[in-house]
């Protein structure tokens, strides 16, 4: 392996992992320290946390839209499921301090969303394109309506319906948000680069051909959809801990579209694009507060214009890699790089 790496003059894979891990650890610890020291105001911290949550949402939807080639419009529903199940868990379990319980809360939120996503995915993914879009939209709306009305019907005191679920421990901080973002990136990246990921891409590019090559399209579609729902649930759990109050109306169709805009703008199939556009689209409205009433108009116009002039999104399917970047700076850009990323330059 070492010889091969030398031949292609590429940064060794293991070294690349090392760089990424070191950088990740430095950012995580440094960021936690800076924010903990009070150098960043409350307001800016909140914006950063929201960026993190939106990045996870965008990445998870990108897995379903960009890599799997489906168009689910009920992503906010999964987020709501994650948020509510985590919030209910955090409110009712008090054996440990909330900070210690939060990882479990996040996990429960993710698993709940993944489970429902799996149940929805099996029938929904038999359909294609528009039908899939509309059926997931339907499921998203059903989740919202159920969350809104379940207390009245079954007599529980779980979601509190339109009165909103209050007093959720505010446990989301920079450390766990950043960790979740990193884990999401890592899992989705390795998934896409794995054998399963290649099968997923094949399903996106040509379903019939993929099936003819012996790829079980239903399996990969359901798998991708479930993973996507899982991370939406994680983002929801973080959102619950970030806001402290949940109401079903914040997880409507509008929210799903916002996530979709983020993904489309960043480029369907580009993780770096999703990260960048999620950050920009979260931070920009904060900067341009004065124009907030035009925000949704700008969003929708942007969506149409991007679709007409550059249907692949701003970043296309170009993905950013630290190793190749360093390789380039060293002046030994490998052949592989030219083949893969070079044409996008």
User: Residues in the site for another protein, rule: CB under 8 A?
Assistant: 65, 69, 71, 73, 123, 126-131, 133-135, 137-139, 141-142, 145-146, 148-149, 152, 208-209, 253, 257, 260, 264, 268, 293-294, 296-297, 299-301, 303-304, 307-308, 311
Nearer to another protein, 139 or 174 (CB): 139
Nearer to another protein, 93 or 298 (CB): 298
Nearer to another protein, 27 or 209 (CB): 209
| CA separation for the pair 86, 61 (Å, rounded) | 20
| CA separation for the pair 104, 59 (Å, rounded) | 21
Minimum Å gap between C-beta 16 and another protein is 32
Minimum Å gap between C-beta 58 and another protein is 15
DSSP 8-state secondary structure symbol assigned to residue 246: B
Dihedral angle computed from the Cα positions of residues 113, 202, 270 and 236, in that order, rounded to the nearest 10 degrees:
0
Cα–Cα–Cα angle for 64, 88, 117, rounded to 5 degrees: 20
| Both tokens assigned to 84 | 């509510």
Minimum Å gap between C-beta 299 and another protein is 7
Name the percent of the chain in helix, strand, coil, to the closest 5: 80, 0, 20
Question: What is the Cβ-side half-sphere exposure of residue 319, based on CA atoms within 13 angstroms?
Answer: 16
Minimum Å gap between C-beta 208 and another protein is 5
Q: Provide φ and ψ at 246, rounded to 5°.
A: -130, 140
Nearer to another protein, 12 or 138 (CB): 138
Minimum Å gap between C-beta 172 and another protein is 29
């Amino acid at each position: 392996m070492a010889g091969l790496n030398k031949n292609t003059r590429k940064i060794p894979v293991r070294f690349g992992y090392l760089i990424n891990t070191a950088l990740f650890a430095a950012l995580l610890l440094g960021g936690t320290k800076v924010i903990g020291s009070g150098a960043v105001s409350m307001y800016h911290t909140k914006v950063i946390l929201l960026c993190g949550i939106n990045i996870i949402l965008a990445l998870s939807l990108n897995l379903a839209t960009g890599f799997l080639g489906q168009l689910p419009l009920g992503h906010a529903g999964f987020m709501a499921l994650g948020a509510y199940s985590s919030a209910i868990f955090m409110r009712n379990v008090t054996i440990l301090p909330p900070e210690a319980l939060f990882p479990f809360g996040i996990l429960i939120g993710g698993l709940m969303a993944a489970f429902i996503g799996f149940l929805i995915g099996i029938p929904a993914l038999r359909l294609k394109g528009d039908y899939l879009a509309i059926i997931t939209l339907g499921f998203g709306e059903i989740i919202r309506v159920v969350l809104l009305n379940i207390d009245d019907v079954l007599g529980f005191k779980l979601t509190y319906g339109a009165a909103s679920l209050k007093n959720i421990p505010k446990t989301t901080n920079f450390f766990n948000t950043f960790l979740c973002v990193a884990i999401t990136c890592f899992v989705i990246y390795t998934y896409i680069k794995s054998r399963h990921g290649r099968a997923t891409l094949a399903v996106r590019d040509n379903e019939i051909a993929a099936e003819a090559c012996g790829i079980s399209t239903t399996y990969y579609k359901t798998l991708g959809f479930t993973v996507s729902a899982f991370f939406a649930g994680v983002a929801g759990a973080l959102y619950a801990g970030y806001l402290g109050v949940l109401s079903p109306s914040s997880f409507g169709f509008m929210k799903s579209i916002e996530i979709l805009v983020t993904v489309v703008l960043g480029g369907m199939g580009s993780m770096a694009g999703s990260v960048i556009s999620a950050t920009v689209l979260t931070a920009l409205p904060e900067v341009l507060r004065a124009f907030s009433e035009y925000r949704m108009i700008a969003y929708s116009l942007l969506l149409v214009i991007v679709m007409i002039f550059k249907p692949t999104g701003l970043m296309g399917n170009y993905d950013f890699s630290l190793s190749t970047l360093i390789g380039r700076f060293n002046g030994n850009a490998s052949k592989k790089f030219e083949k893969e990323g070079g044409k996008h330059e």
